[in-house]
């Protein structure tokens, strides 16, 4: 085992040297309300914009609330060359503009052709009043929350009176809490000290950015020492909560990175643990899985959500077959010579990269994320998690436990464990070690392909995809204990979280270097990793 670790550290050193050499889509263009709305908004007459707001109010259009918000945010522009309305984030050359009616995505070439649809104060007040009246009575709690947040930005007395009236009958806790914050922000500007104290308590319990801003403004302006002290304590409490949730966010990102590392390394842990093969083409097997996902999506363009599920077994089979071909064609002649397998598989990795460049071109390919993997889960205003990374964490655990069941509950798994612990004894007991080697390498390669499916959802697919994860995969295997998949899981998650904790103050590159230094020092103390392999083979 120690000799394997030495070979693996040599492999890592050689490898380092070698690698160094807009907005929601709107209705169809034949919608009469939106057609008239466009005509009114692009008009040079300011009164027509008032008529446009009244039109939306009277029509009760399903997109009215979204349009109100975009108008207040200044996202609407009209193009003077074609007299059409567009949604624009930044009116700069090279930026995109989304056509209001037919969803055409246009690249801005001449920014001066785009002019913002400007509103005066009266029109803004009119929109907020309408949003208050329609949004606060909407059936959807999300719409009510959106309405309250929109009015919190610059509330007028009439809007606040509507919020106060709606607060008494509101049943949803989240909406009710947000209404209480809006009312408290207004109360801070009053002169009733008791009411101000209650308002400070309400704002101190909220993580809404505007609540924090209101307290900061109050601290800088008030002359009441006791109220100022109370507000400062509230701000300290808010900052502590924010730090806590930022820490949770860091752990979450670390677990998602760790899940990717586990998926990338678990196949390598199997092949290296059983056969002692330093497979430098492992990253390219991951890449093949990612390209398989891309091909499946091209074959199923109208079923993106289903295509990802189809890609999982397809990537396992394709990468597994490529892995078996590599084992049968090259590696089986090099058993017992790990450094030669390193050079041979590194050559294979270059061949696979060039083959992909020839077939798919050297440009990166984008794999579309299914709608059910898009979006975020928002727990509060400062903590939200992305669904695609959450699914990858769950997917990693499913793959891990499925592989664990294969190794613990199947005949192949029993043979794999026998060969990994004592190859000579296993052969003496009738185990066909060559077949086990082939199937094990195919299994590890197939799992690498599945990792490629997951990676395709968080990064672009390109010929160099595997190179970004091969060193990390080896580090996870060494740190966790060669051949131990439980060690791979713990090591991957640990290294992922450690990376994300260090990144804010050390930077991404230095964080990886520090992790590598830590692993080198750790191996000096525990050369067999966190969870050393058991059996006679571990003695060597």
User: What is the domain range of residue 460?
Assistant: 248-374+394-533
| Residues ≥6 apart with Cβ < 8 Å to 358 | none
* Residue 299 located in a structural domain: yes
Which tokens sit at 135? 């949004």
**Torsions phi, psi for 530 (to 5 deg):** -65, -45
Catalogue the E-assigned strands of 345-438: 376-380, 383-386
Taking CA 501 as the corner, what is the angle to CA 526 and CA 364, rounded to the nearest 5 degrees?
A: 95
Strand order of the β-sheet with 105-107 is 105-107, 96-99, 84-88, 76-79, 114-116
Nearest alpha-carbon partner for 92 in 114, 70, 74: 114
Which tokens sit at 258? 């760790």
Give the β-pairing of 383-386 and 376-380. Answer: antiparallel
* Residue 452 located in a structural domain: yes
The pLDDT of residue 291 is 94
Q: Which contiguous run of DSSP H or E holds residue 309?
A: helix 304-329
- The answer to whether the CB of 262 falls within 8 A of the CB of 408 is no
Nearest alpha-carbon partner for 327 in 341, 312, 310, 317: 341
Q: What is d(CA 113, CA 345) in angstroms, rounded to the nearest whole number?
A: 56
Rg (CA), the chain: 30
Which tokens sit at 484? 């131990």
The pLDDT of residue 493 is 92
156 SS3 class: coil
pTM over 0.85: no
CA dihedral 302, 303, 305, 306 (to 10 degrees): -170
The neighbour count for residue 335, using CB atoms within 10 Å, is 16
Model confidence over 69-103: pLDDT tens digits? 888 888 889 888 888 888 888 888 878 888 888 77
* Residue 84 located in a structural domain: no
Q: What is d(CA 227, CA 233) in angstroms, rounded to the nearest whole number?
A: 10
* Residue 226 located in a structural domain: no
Nearest alpha-carbon partner for 261 in 480, 469, 503: 469
Give the β-pairing of 105-107 and 96-99. Answer: antiparallel
Q: Which contiguous run of DSSP H or E holds residue 348?
A: helix 338-360
Q: What is d(CA 444, CA 289) in angstroms, rounded to the nearest whole number?
A: 12
The pLDDT of residue 153 is 59
How many domains would you assign to the chain? Answer: 1
Burial pattern 199-216, b for ≥16 Cβ within 10 A else e, equals bbebbbbbbbebbbebbe
What CATH number is attached to the domain comprising 472?
A: 1.10.3470
Q: How far is CA 235 from CA 174, 367, 526, in A?
A: 21, 43, 46
How many residues make up the chain in this entry?
540
Q: What is d(CA 124, CA 279) in angstroms, rounded to the nearest whole number?
A: 64
Q: Which contiguous run of DSSP H or E holds residue 165?
A: helix 157-167
Q: How far is CA 35 from CA 46, 57, 70, 245, 381, in A?
A: 18, 15, 17, 45, 36
Taking CA 437 as the corner, what is the angle to CA 433 and CA 439, rounded to the nearest 5 degrees?
A: 115
- The answer to whether the CB of 452 falls within 8 A of the CB of 465 is yes
Q: What is the DSSP letter of 532?
A: P
* Residue 258 located in a structural domain: yes
Q: What is d(CA 463, CA 109) in angstroms, rounded to the nearest whole number?
A: 32
* Residue 489 located in a structural domain: yes
* Residue 352 located in a structural domain: yes
* Residue 31 located in a structural domain: no
Q: Which region, left, alpha or beta, applies to residue 487 given φ > 0 means left and ψ of -120 to 50 means alpha? A: alpha
Q: Kindly give the confidence (pLDDT) of every residue in the chain, 540 residues in length, as a single tens digit, with 9 standing for 90 and above.
A: 555 545 544 544 444 433 343 344 444 557 888 888 888 888 888 888 888 888 888 887 778 878 888 888 888 898 888 888 888 888 888 788 888 887 777 888 888 888 888 888 888 888 877 877 777 877 788 878 877 887 775 566 777 888 888 888 888 888 899 999 988 988 888 888 889 999 999 999 988 888 899 899 889 888 888 998 999 999 999 999 999 999 999 999 999 989 988 988 888 888 776 677 788 888 899 999 999 999 999 898 888 888 889 999 999 999 999 999 998 888 888 877 878 888 898 899 999 999 999 998 888 888 888 888 888 888 888 888 888 889 999 999 999 999 888 888 888 878 877 776 677 777 787 777 778 888 888 888 999 999 999 988 888 888 988 888 888 888 888 888 876 788 889 989 998 898 888 887 877 778 878 888 888 888 888 877 777 765 444 444
């Amino acid at each position: 085992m120690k000799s394997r670790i030495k070979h693996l550290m040599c492999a890592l050193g050689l490898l380092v040297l070698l690698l160094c050499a807009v907005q929601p889509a709107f209705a169809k263009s034949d919608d009469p309300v939106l057609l008239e709305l466009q005509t009114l908004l692009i008009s040079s007459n300011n009164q027509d914009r008032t008529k446009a707001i009244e039109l939306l109010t009277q029509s009760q259009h399903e997109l009215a609330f979204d349009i109100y918000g975009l108008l207040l945010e200044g996202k609407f522009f009209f193009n003077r060359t074609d007299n059409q309305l567009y949604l624009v984030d930044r009116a700069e050359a090279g930026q995109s503009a989304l056509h209001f009616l037919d969803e055409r995505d246009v690249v801005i070439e001449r920014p001066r052709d785009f002019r913002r649809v400007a509103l005066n104060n009266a029109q803004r007040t009119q929109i907020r009043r309408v949003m208050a009246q329609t949004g606060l009575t909407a059936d959807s709690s999300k719409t009510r929350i959106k309405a309250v947040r929109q009015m919190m930005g610059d509330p007028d007395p009439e809007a606040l009176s509507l919020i106060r009236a709606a607060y008494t009958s509101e049943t949803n806790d989240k909406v009710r809490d947000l209404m209480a914050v809006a009312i408290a922000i207004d109360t801070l500007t009053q002169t009733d000290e008791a009411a101000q104290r209650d308002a400070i308590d309400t704002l101190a319990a909220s993580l809404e950015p505007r609540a924090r801003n209101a307290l900061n403004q109050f601290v800088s302006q008030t002359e009441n020492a006791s109220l100022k002290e109370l507000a400062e304590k509230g701000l300290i409490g808010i900052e502590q909560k924010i730090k806590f949730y930022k820490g949770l966010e860091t752990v979450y990102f670390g677990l998602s990175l760790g899940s990717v590392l586990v998926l990338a390394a678990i196949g390598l842990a199997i092949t290296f643990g059983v056969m002692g093969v330093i497979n430098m083409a492992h990253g390219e097997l991951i890449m093949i899985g990612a390209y398989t996902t891309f091909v499946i999506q091209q074959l199923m363009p109208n079923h993106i959500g289903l295509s990802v599920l189809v890609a999982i077994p397809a990537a396992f089979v394709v990468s597994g077959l490529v892995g078996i071909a590599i084992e049968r064609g090259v590696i089986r002649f090099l058993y017992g010579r790990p450094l030669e397998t390193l050079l041979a598989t590194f050559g294979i990795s270059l061949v696979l990269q060039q083959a992909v460049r020839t077939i798919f071109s050297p440009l990166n390919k984008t794999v579309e994320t299914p709608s059910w993997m898009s979006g975020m889960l928002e727990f509060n205003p400062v903590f939200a998690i992305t669904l695609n990374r959450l699914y990858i964490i769950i997917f990693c655990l499913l793959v891990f436990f499925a592989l664990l069941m294969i190794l613990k509950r199947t005949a192949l798994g029993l043979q794999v464990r026998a060969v990994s612990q004592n190859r000579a004894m296993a052969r003496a007991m009738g185990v066909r070690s060559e077949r086990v080697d082939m199937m094990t390498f195919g299994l590890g390669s197939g799992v690498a392909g599945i990792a490629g499916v997951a990676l395709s959802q968080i990064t672009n697919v390109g010929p160099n995809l595997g190179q970004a994860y091969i060193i990390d995969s080896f580090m996870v295997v060494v740190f966790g204990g060669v051949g131990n998949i439980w060690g791979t899981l713990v090591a991957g998650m640990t290294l992922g979280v450690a990376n994300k904790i260090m990144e804010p103050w050390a930077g991404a590159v230095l964080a990886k270097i520090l992790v590598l230094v830590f692993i080198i020092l750790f191996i000096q103390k525990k050369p067999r990793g966190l969870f050393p392999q058991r059996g006679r083979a571990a003695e060597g």
